[in-house]
Amino acid sequence: MTSELQDDIREARLRCARHLADLHRLHLTFLAEGRALKRFTAAGRPSAEIEITAELLEQYLSASDAFLENMRGRMEARLGLLRRGEPQVNGKPEDAPGHGGFWLSFSRLCAVLRRVSRRAEM
């Protein structure tokens, strides 16, 4: 694998890690906001806390479900192409360096897609 391709892969991983860190910070912000909503109950307006919390959770679940469904659909559509990318040496995949790692990664992706699919069914 070329150094340029390795750098591109490393950068893609770093970008995803940064986005996940941003998402984690957003989760912490939502938690803090959710804890702050108890002020409405303390002020005698528990219905406001209930309504705002329900809206937040509904919108969050809707956005999360849409993201997961989109990613699942896109990746399931690419599985055939990805499978054909199996490393081979002289037409023999089992002799190729990285053969086992390829199938381990492919199996991992399939398992994650099944988890996403089961979650969508709930």
Q: Using CA atoms, how far apart are residues 60 and 33, in angstroms rounded to an integer? A: 14
pTM of this structure:
0.80
Residue range of the domain that includes 76:
37-121
Total count of domains within the chain: 1
Alpha carbon distances (Å) from 96 to 78, 100, 109, 119, 121? 22, 9, 21, 36, 38
At residue 59 the predicted structure's pLDDT band, cuts being 50, 70 and 90, is very high
pLDDT band at 66 (very low <50, low <70, confident <90, very high): very high
Sign of the alpha-carbon dihedral angle for 112, 118, 120, 122: negative
Statement: residue 122 has pLDDT above 80: no
Six token digits for residue 83: 């499978």
Inside any domain, residue 89: yes
- Residue 23 included in any domain: no
